[in-house]
Structure 1
Amino acid sequence: MSDLNDPRVFFAAERTLMAWNRTGLTLMAFGFVLERFGLFLHMLRQDASGAGRDLSFWIGIAFIVLALGVMSFSIVQFRRVLATLKPIEIPARYCTWAGMAMNLSVVLLGFALLAYLFSEL
């Protein structure tokens, strides 16, 4: 339990949650770019066998999965921090679940992106 009785502790935890969200989004975008870069290379080579799934595809997928893991773990960590705070440290009528909902929605959209990438060939 925190003994600071200061709402800044809560806001610092929320800023950390959003920083992990930005990190996850960046990793996901980088993974998507890597995956598409392999497709671009196949087009440049005019590969007759089709796009296929080469190393850039799997590295891109790994970055997207890493992003999903980072954002999911950040939700768990934020909930752990919330459990340690006293009610005085959380501003009255402040929505504590909004940041977690944003991270969760990005995770769900990330899974949709993975499904799209695996279905497209």
Structure 2
Amino acid sequence: MSRIPPENSRNVATELAKERNRAAAERTLMAWIRTCLSLISFGFGIDRVVAAIDASQANERFNSLHLSRLLGLAFIALGTYAMLAAAIEHQQELTHIQKEQYFYKPRRSLGLTVAIGLIFIGAFAFAGIVINSFR
């Protein structure tokens, strides 16, 4: 004779599952914060180095300095975009977890979006370096 678990045990299991999902969402958000902070810091570092080089060479102008500054700004913009998107996605996930019925909802991958952004930044930097090497 099989026993049906009491109503309370099913609610506890469901609530614990929701808590695990919430904790996983928090860990994911923290990972995105670290990633975005790295992108922003890297972009800021590039910009500051370029500004220092530009200031030390007042009479000599290089087009590559402007390219490097744009590269730094692109990293900052990508990191800021990813941070905003991760915060919005996190809030949506928390709202989704709180619903009584949890159904899988496919969505665009934020990691893939950032990877595509990095591909474009890398291709832009590569093209700029190749063009400047032939001058």
Q: TM-score range by the shorter chain?
A: 0.5 to 0.7
Residue type of the alignment partner of 1:69: Y
Counterpart of 2:44 in structure 1 is 32
CA separation in 1, counterparts of 2:30 and 2:62? 36
The corresponding residue for 2:59 is 48
- Structure 1 length-normalised TM: 0.60
Q: Identity of counterpart residues, as a percentage?
A: 33
Give the total of aligned pairs.
85
CA RMSD of the aligned region, Å?
2.7
Structure 2 equivalent of residue 70 of structure 1? 82
1:86 aligned to which of 69, 73, 98:
98
Q: Return the offset for 1:41.
A: 2.5
Shift in Å at residue 48 of structure 1? 2.0
The Cα shift of 1:66 comes to 0.4
- Give the equivalent residue in structure 2 for 1:96: none
Q: 2: distance between equivalents of 1:71 and 1:27?
A: 10
1:35–1:60 CA contact under 8 A, matched in 2: yes
1:25, distance to aligned residue in structure 2 (A): 0.6
Shift of 1:86: 2.9
**Superposition misfits of 4+ residues, deviation over 3 angstroms:** 49-53
What SS does the aligned partner of 2:72 have? Answer: helix
Deviation of 1:50 (Å): 7.7
**Larger RCO of the pair (alpha carbons < 8 Å, separation 6+):** 1
CA distance in 2 between counterparts of 1:4 and 1:43 reads 61
The SS at the match of 2:58 is coil
Bigger Rg, structure 1 or 2: 2
User: Any unmatched runs of 5+ in structure 1?
Assistant: 89-121
Structure 2 spans left out of the alignment, 5+ residues: 1-12, 101-135
